[in-house]
Amino acid sequence: MDDGWSRQLFELARREPFRRKIVLAERFQQGEQWLARATAECGPMLGMEVETLRSAVTKLVMPALAASGGRLLGNGETFWIVQRLMFVMAEEEADAYVSRELLSRGIVQVFHDAIAELRMAGIPSSELQPDSFVDARKGRYVQGLLARYEQALREGGMSDFARLLELLPELEGRGSAELYIVPSLDALTPVERRMLEHVAGGSVIVLRSGEAFPATAAGIGADGLEMFRAAGKLAEAREALRRLIGAEIPLDRAELIVPPDSGYEGAVQSLCAALGIPATYSAGRSVSHARAGRAARAYLDWAGNGYEAESLLKALRHGSITFQAWSEELSSGELIRALEGSGVGWGRERYALLAKASDALDAAELPAGEARLGVAEGNPLGSTITVEIAPADGGDVTAGIEEIAGVVAGERGDIATRAVESGDEPLNPRRVLAAVFRDLFAELPDPRLESWTPLTVLRGLNAFLAACAPPTCEEDIAVLAQLKQRQTSLEGMELPAVPEVQALRYVSDMVLGIRVGSSGPQSGKLHVSTLQDGGETGRPHVFVLGMSDSFWSASIRQDPVLLDAERARIGGLPLSSELAERRQRERALRFGRIDGRLTLSYCCYDPAEQKETAPAYELLQVARIWSDQSELDLAGLEGLLGQPTGYEVSIPNAEAGVAMPSTPSTSKP
């Protein structure tokens, strides 16, 4: 690490080996990487632990919070409180600043973020003045929303993270038995600073920062820096992997850093999967990489697109879902063909065609003693499955079988086995499909009624996944567990009714926000990180992809609720320019700690949009240092890097690729 982060940690551990030393990081994974790197570079350390400020504070206050009967809320739960309060204000106030028609998820999210920021700044509603806002109506609305939020927490015995400050013991000026180590105090909010003072007292050490990137490029040796450009993101990712494999670099000695939410993550993941390269991903992978995630998206697309049958047909064809809970005798192919030929199309009422076909079959006379499927009450998504039997004397017998639908492995039950006991009569696919969609619609409210909430959709989704997408791997289990946990958290919330489209959108955003397979560096695997957390593994070979101006330039956007002019008047809130500068400095210092061989690249042409893209200014600065040309401009940079790499360059044989001629590497002579 730069001038000493590894050395500083090692010296602190050696100076007081038997004292408990807590490294406060933004994320546990980040802190573990710091300690692992310091241990590898300097030696073993005693008494070092990793915490986040939130976890350290929570551990201290949980006994008092539990004794008072309180409950700690996460950001996901406080969002629903703000949403409910905004609906209440829209109904109670004749001329509300935000009417009910405007209460979309995006609007609620920005007001929730504003309330959370005011709370973490330590600004109560009593001190917030409406005159501080450009629009006094907005000021009164935000003040009223904040006051209602504070009241809801008090009356409900709930606490958000900011309120934990009231429960922290006083340690100011007395010091703590533990030594707290923090990388910087710049990013801490006023409430977080006061929390740190309460937790640690004066026992806090701030690590010294070294030189920032790209100035650190001057210290890299002649053979320690490479640069190239590529015609497309996929071509750039492929060239980086070609260089990595061509140089016979061990995978666990390399790190790839990509811009988040840019398309690079998908390109790297696809190439690694195709080439059989094991990799870990610091930000995880999209929920669609898990079968349960694809099934969840298919269900929500089906409901959100007017119950279009094609959404579920695609999932059936790709094996993302199965209807075996309704029939193990019929294959997915038979059900697919039956649904394709049913003429359903889209629209909830069109599924009556399947019910009519099923009713026609049920009306047919059955020989005495044979069984038929009871489609009126059978429901693998619910609790009761009914089998009807036509006995010899003409009477009716109904047998109820209790089944738990939430158990996804081993207890889902087979309706077909229970229904056709004789085994002689083949099941009709349309009868099974009629039962499937009857049960799916039973879990959803009538779209004509104002009874939709995110919770009702989430219940239907979880029931669907339990019956139609049994887990096959750890990623599926993780997706199902997260969705179940979110349903549990919403069960205790008072949620206002919203239109069907909004309820589905809320749950769709929940699903899309799930990331699977998030992991730190592991032995024998390539590590893929993002611009927000990369450069801290200490690996000696680092590839930085996507150094385009669009991904690296500072994005200065004012908060839509708390404008910069209003922040200045309120006080205690950072301006948008300060936030952007803070993010830029944090990244520059983090990249400055990279120590080893560095490969930088950018995509100079976007094939999708058919336009050229400019390199980041940091890349130009590195090129000036790299080439000893302080006046180098963009045209000179293009000449220095040469022709862009295309996708036709193949990756050398690495247990998956075929060796072919490669483009010469551009490195410093």
Domain boundaries, the chain: 2-68+165-206, 75-160, 215-284+518-641, 291-514
- Beta bridge partners, 50, equal 23
> What distance in Å separates the CA atoms of residue 276 and residue 322, rounded to the nearest whole number?
28
Lookup: tokens for 244 = 């990595």
Please answer whether residues 612 and 605 qualify as being in contact, where contact means their C-beta atoms are separated by less than 8 angstroms: yes
Token pair of 232 as six digits: 């497309």
**For the segment 469-495, what is each residue's pLDDT rounded down to a tens digit?**
999 999 999 999 999 999 999 998 889
- Are 583 and 604 within 8 A, CB to CB? no
Residue 460 to residue 501: CA distance in whole angstroms: 15
d(CA 23, CA 205): 10
Q: Which residues contact 100 (CB under 8 A, 6 or more apart)?
A: 87, 90, 91
pLDDT digits (tens, 9 = 90+) for 360-369: 555 554 444 4
Q: How confident is the model over 594-643, as pLDDT tens digits?
A: 988 999 999 998 888 888 999 999 999 999 988 889 899 999 999 999 99
Residue 287 has pLDDT above 50, yes or no: yes
Q: Worst-scoring range by mean pLDDT, 90-104, 162-176, 222-236, 554-568?
A: 162-176
> Residue 379 — pLDDT band, cuts 50, 70, 90?
low
Q: Rounded to whole angstroms, how far apart are CA atoms 553 and 172?
A: 40
End-to-end, the C-alpha distance of the chain in Å comes to 26
In this model, does residue 371 exceed pLDDT 50?
A: no
- Determine which helix (DSSP H) or strand (DSSP E) holds 53, and give its type and residue range: helix 53-67
Listed residue (158, 18, 162, 172) closest to 77, CA to CA: 158
What backbone torsions phi and psi does residue 626 show, to the nearest 5 degrees?
A: -65, -40
Q: What share of the chain is helix, strand, coil (3-state, %, to 5)?
A: 50, 10, 40
Predicted confidence band of residue 175 (pLDDT cuts 50, 70, 90) = low
Same fold, 2-68+165-206 and 215-284+518-641: yes
Confidence tier at 357 by pLDDT (50, 70, 90): low
Q: Residue 18 to residues 25, 45, 199, 200, 495: CA-CA distances in angstroms?
A: 21, 10, 20, 17, 51
Q: At what angle do helices 500-512 and 105-120 cross, to 10 degrees?
A: 60
Buried b (16+ CB within 10 A) or exposed e, 409-439: eeebbebbebbbeeeeeebbbbbbbbbbbbb
Q: What is the pLDDT at residue 658?
A: 32
The CA-atom distances, in angstroms, between 274 and each of 133, 150, 240, 278, 514 are: 54, 52, 15, 10, 24
Tokens of 124: 């109560």
Residue 309 backbone class (left: φ over 0; alpha: ψ -120 to 50; beta: rest): alpha
Does 74 have pLDDT greater than 90?
Answer: no
**What one-character DSSP code corresponds to residue 667?**
B
Give yes or no for a cis peptide into 214 (omega within 30° of 0): yes
- Read off φ and ψ for residue 605, nearest 5 degrees: -145, 135
Are 118 and 146 in contact by the 8 Å Cβ rule? The answer is yes
Whether 451 has a pLDDT exceeding 70, the answer reads yes
Mean pLDDT calculated for residue range 257-273: 92
* Residues constituting the chain: 669
pLDDT at 67: 87
Whole-angstrom distance, CA of residue 449 vs CA of residue 537: 54
Q: How far apart are CA 373 and CA 363, in angstroms?
A: 12
pLDDT at 36: 93
User: Cβ distance 7 to 208 under 8 Å?
Assistant: no
Torsion angle (degrees, nearest 10) of CA 391, 396, 399, 400: 160
- Cα(343)–Cα(351) distance, integer angstroms: 9
Match domain 2-68+165-206 to its CATH number in 1.10.10.410, 1.10.10.10, 3.40.50.1220, 3.40.50.10930: 3.40.50.10930
Give the separation between CA 409 and CA 45, rounded to whole angstroms.
Answer: 45
> Per-residue b/e over 511-522, b at no fewer than 16 CB within 10 Å?
beebbbbeebbe
Looking at residue 501, its amino acid is V
| 607 and 616 Cβ atoms separated by less than 8 Å | no
Mean per-residue pLDDT, 510-515: 93
* Radius of gyration for the alpha carbons in the chain, expressed in angstroms and rounded: 30
The CATH classification of domain 215-284+518-641, taken from the options 1.20.1260.10, 3.90.25.10, 3.40.50.620, 3.40.50.300: 3.40.50.300
- Looking at per-residue pLDDT, the higher value among 662 and 93 belongs to 93
Number of H helices, E strands in the chain: 23, 19
Residue 222 is predicted with a pLDDT of 67
Q: What is the model's pLDDT at position 64?
A: 86
Q: How many CB atoms lie within 10 A of CB 70?
A: 19
pLDDT given at position 420: 36
Mean pLDDT of the chain: 84
HSE-CB at 375 with a 13 A cutoff on CA atoms is 25
Q: Is the pLDDT of residue 423 over 60?
A: no
**What is d(CA 319, CA 121) in angstroms, rounded to the nearest whole number?**
49
With b for 16 or more beta-carbon neighbours within 10 A and e for fewer, the 17-37 pattern comes to: eeeebbbbbbeebbbbbbbeb
Give me the phi and psi of 51, to 5 degrees please: -140, 160
What's the confidence (pLDDT) of residue 368? 45
